[in-house]
Structure 1
Amino acid sequence: MIDARTIRKDFPILDQQVNDEPLVYLDNAATTQKPQAVLDALNDYYHKDNANVHRGVHTLAERATHTYEAAREKVRAFIHANKTAEVLFTRGTTTSLNWVARSYGDAFVKEGDEIVISYMEHHSNIVPWQQLAIRKKATLKYISLTAEGTLDLEDARRQITDKTAIVSLAHASNVLGVLNPIKELASLAHQHGAIMVVDGAQATPHMAIDVQDLDCDFYAFSGHKMCAPTGIGVLYGKRPLLEQMEPIEFGGEMIDFVYLQESTWSELPWKFEAGTPNIAGAIGLGAAIDYLSELGMNHIHHYEAQLVQYVLPKLQAIEGLTIYGPSDPLQRTGVIAFNLEGIHPHDVATALDMEGIAVRAGHHCAQPLLSYLTVPATARASFYFYNTEADCDRLVEAIKATKEFFQHGTI
């Protein structure tokens, strides 16, 4: 089980004061903090093994290569991919989705085809498909949402047709906190001959992922949202699809042989990984996976669900507070977007920061969703396994104090 009060000791950054108040970090949907084990892994690499990978036969290069590729195997096991050849290291979810759109999309999407996404997508899972649709003269379609903010499955069945080439959806929303039924949607996509792409940025850090059980064709996620460094991410792809795809970046590492007028590519996964990779980032991701696996992803998911069950009713009881997404705590992740009536979310976030509470305010890189909800911005609290019920109480009391201040000028 998760003991957040003990776990917090693994995260040095949490032991500080902000504006003379103990830090309550609730911006985990944007990025998570790093445990000492990850910081130690980065330090060890740079102090002991810093060398380029795959290229040298000297001891440091061999050690770096071994640790780097061991991290790939840890990713494979973590998401239950079939082979390490299906695990590509990228800069993050954004890069991963762009690779699919540029490589698979440019090769296989034709004029008149349809690409289906939803209104709840992050910009990283909208703009690459917009650009692909423009390049290929395809049609970009959106699945509607229910009144509760969940994906409208009836509309999904209407939007996904025999003209659909790609369906790309978030596994979990970074605003509404909803989990999408990816396995069911992948089956629907495949029935119509389409591929299923999944933005897993908000799901992979919080629950066990089995890409084979989901039967998705591509799955993308970022390390920095799961206790790893920034600048490292993963694109999982089914091997037959990756074999058919061409790389979109060219240079060292990804080649087999370079002739004067043409080149041949290396085998998977390296044919997509041009240049010197983010070695330290991959090693840090491997260390983060070790740390998360020791805690247990099912334990993490259960603990975060308990936190939401604890805090959501307290927030719902605040008069004038609007919460976006499902009202049932069992139907959402640890992401809670909200607005206080009459107070701009930036002002709310600033007031909370004065109390030492870090939340996000803005459009959360989801402008089509906020337009759909007819709001310009929201504040967002997002929880992780190192947050406690005491953190929840601090948030609730600070929101009440903020409301009182803006209404009456006193705290």
Structure 2
Amino acid sequence: MFKYNLMHHWRSLVSGVETKIPLKNGQMTTYINFDNAATTPPLLSVLEEVVAFSPWYSSIHRGTGYKSQLSSDRYEKSRELIGHFVGADLEKNTVIFLKNATEAINKLSYRLSNQSPNPVVLSSFMEHHSNDLPWRDKYRVDYVDIKENGCLSLEDLEHKLIHYKGEVKLVAITGASNVTGCKNPINRIANIVHQYGAQLLVDGAQLIPHAPFYMSSSNPLENPDYLVFSAHKMYAPFGIGVLIAPKDVFRQGPPEYVGGGTVELVTHDHIKWADVPNREEAGSPNILGVVALTAAMKTLNEIGMEHIDRHEQSLTRYTLEKLNSISDITVYGDMTLKNRVGIISFNIEGLTHDLVAKILSDEGGIAVRNGCFCAQPYVQRLLGIPPDEVEKRKEDPTLFHPGMVRVSFGFYNTYREIDIFISLLKRIIQYKGYYVKKYTNHH
């Protein structure tokens, strides 16, 4: 009973979880959101804080009005709260606000490209496109391989660091996969990377909202150098991303976006750039986004990231046990993996991923995601698609694109929702022919 009451309380913290939606047959049902890896619903505390702050909203920095001073103070103090949430050393590091994690990685890719000739960046086979594409046009890029279970091969990481003989300047690795949920051992990876004179970027978009994470430990070799994450994946959908990085890195060279707020002194012949982080935040900043993110972090801290991690892992184990008992379902990645976030990708034999996702939505009001999840090389590898098949799709874009169905949990999801989901999956499998005919005729 205690556990139920605790889950019920957590659920009451999130906006929209009891929303009724229409099914294909016209009946109404409570929406089940298993698409949290894409974005999360807002916390009520976030919405309340944004509304409460709105009367005090004003342009920050250099304004002498009371509201401007108050807004400026709130904006700058938020960097400290955010840094503490992830255990960053704010004496050494700066907190830079951007639109999202993708923009944060792009910003870093521009800054580092100016600091050494023809450097090598190691990404990996399990990366989201946002931690792959920004490096390609500015660096020599190679990819750390994965093991059979879909997780990163630390042996191949070290092999490639040795192979490039000190030319690797950065290793860019996801904290947790948005396809298989696999968590990477960041401290071990940092230790390896630093032994070979490189730095480590952690894409924390799928990790920071779901598990405790600390950038600083007693062993500096085990600490990542850069961290990015997005507010909209941690219950604060107001358009803010965060890059935490060493101050010294961003004091070298001009920012890639320039304009208001980035300078201290300008003449027609001279520019004196502002200090970090202001020089990296051109234009009027999104202070409401910052207010939203800090409000979300306060609530997540009150719940406890350890409790969130434990609950979501329990939901994941429960779901995997149920899926494992159903014939015709293939789960990708390691089903026995204990160190993971609440993400599971699967397919049903004989049904396309898009059809399964549509049936779940139309017949059960269950939101999942399908496709390649902006991680096409990883999904192609997990599906075992040979290179010549990929080439065919390059030449003929009308060919069907392989993919998977993904469920992803938030701390507010429940075992009952999973039971509803599993029950519908069993029905889909039992009546495959009926559903294929129904949806083919419909289109």
TM-score in terms of structure 1 length: 0.94
Deviations 1:97-129 (A, max 9, x none): 00110011x212422x32111111000001001
Once the 2 structures are TM-superposed, how far is the Cα of residue 329 of structure 1 from its aligned partner?
A: 4.5
Q: Secondary structure in 2 aligned to 1:32? A: coil
Within 5 Å, which residues of 2 pair with 1:114-153?
A: 114-133=120-139, 139-153=140-154
Matched, 1:190 2:203: no
CA distance, structure 1, for counterparts of residue 344 and residue 129 of structure 2: 19
Q: 1:223 Cα deviation (Å)?
A: 0.4
Counterpart of 1:66 (choices 70, 73, 81) is: 73
Choose which of 237, 261, 268 in structure 1 pairs with 2:245.
Answer: 237
Are the equivalent residues in 1 in contact too, given 2:238–2:288 (CA < 8 A)?
A: no
2:425 aligned residue (399, 407, 410): 399
Q: Is the 8 A contact 2:229 2:243 kept in 1?
A: yes
Q: Does residue 1:57 correspond to 2:58, yes or no?
A: no
1:303 and 2:311 are equivalent in the alignment: yes
Q: In the alignment, which of 31, 55, 66 is matched to residue 23 of structure 1?
A: 31
What SS does the corresponding residue of 1:401 show, helix, strand or coil? helix
Change (3 A) 1:184 1:403: same
Q: Deviations over 1:308-356 (max 9, x none)?
A: 1211110111111111111115132100011111111111111111201
Counterpart in the other structure of 1:290:
298
Distance 1:33 1:52 in 2: 27
Is 1:4–2:1 an aligned residue pair?
Answer: no
Aligned ranges 1:89-168 → 2 under 5 Å: 89-104=97-112, 106-111=113-118, 113-133=119-139, 139-161=140-162, 162-168=166-172
Q: Report how far residue 245 of structure 1 moved.
A: 5.0
Partner of residue 182 from structure 2, selected from 159, 178, 181: 178
> C-alpha distance in 2, partners of 1:256/1:267?
8
1:150 shift after superposition: 1.1
- Which of residues 5, 14, 17 in structure 2 aligns to 1:14? 17
CA distance in 2, matches of 1:233, 1:68: 14
Matched, 1:200 2:204: yes
Show structure 1 runs of 5+ residues with no match: 134-138
Shift of 1:408: 4.5
Q: 2:281 aligns with which of 250, 268, 273?
A: 273
Provide, for residues 218-242 of structure 1, a one-character-per-residue CA deviation record: whole Å limited to 9, x for no partner: 1100000011124201000023323
Equivalence for 1:87: 95
* Aligned equivalents of 2:403, 2:313: Cα separation in 1: 25
1:192 Cα deviation after fit: 1.4
Please give the secondary structure, in 2, of the residue aligned with 1:52.
coil
Tell me if structure 2 keeps the 8 A contact 1:253–1:270: yes
Contact residue 182 and residue 337 of structure 2 kept, 8 A? no
| Aligned structure 1 segments of 4 or more residues deviating by more than 6 angstroms | none
Cα separation, 1, equivalents of 2:353 and 2:209: 26
- What's the offset of the Cα at 1:43? 1.2
Letter in 2 for 1:158: H
Structure of larger gyration radius: 2
Aligned residue type for 1:371: Q
Deviation at 1:265, TM superposition (A): 1.2
The 8 Å contact of residues 176 and 324 in structure 1, kept in 2 or not, is answered as: yes
Question: Corresponding residue for 1:352?
Answer: 360
Amino acid at match of 2:415: E
Deviation, 1:269, is 1.4
Match of 1:136 in 2: none
- TM-score norm. by structure 2 comes to 0.88
**What amino acid is the match of 2:69?**
E
Alignment partners' CA distance in 2, 1:318 and 1:71: 47
- What is the CA deviation profile of residues 84-106 of structure 1, one whole-angstrom value per residue up to 9, with x for unaligned ones? 761111111101100110011x2
Give 3-state SS (helix, strand or coil) of 1:108's partner: coil
Closer/same/farther in 2, CA of residues 263 and 359 from structure 1, 3 Å limit = same
Aligned equivalents of 1:167, 1:230: Cα separation in 2: 30
Structure 2 counterpart of 1:369, one-letter code: Y
For the pair 1:315 / 2:323, whether they are aligned, the reply is yes
- Alignment check: 8 A CA contact 1:82 1:212 kept: yes
Report the aligned-residue RMSD: 1.7
- What secondary structure does 1:372 align onto? helix
Q: Output the amino acid matched with 1:326.
A: D
Could you tell me how far apart the structure 2 residues matched to 1:166 and 1:141 are? 11
Residue 252 in 1 paired to residue 278 in 2? no
Which of 2, 23, 40 is residue 32 of structure 1 equivalent to? 40
After TM superposition, the structure 1 stretch with the greater mean CA deviation from structure 2, 79-88 or 390-399, is 79-88
Contact 1:326 1:332 in 2 (8 A): no
| Residue identity opposite 2:346 in structure 1 | F
Q: In the alignment, is the contact (CA less than 8 A) between 2:175 and 2:183 conserved in 1? A: yes
Amino acid at match of 2:121: I
**Secondary structure in 1 aligned to 2:255?**
coil
Identity %: 33
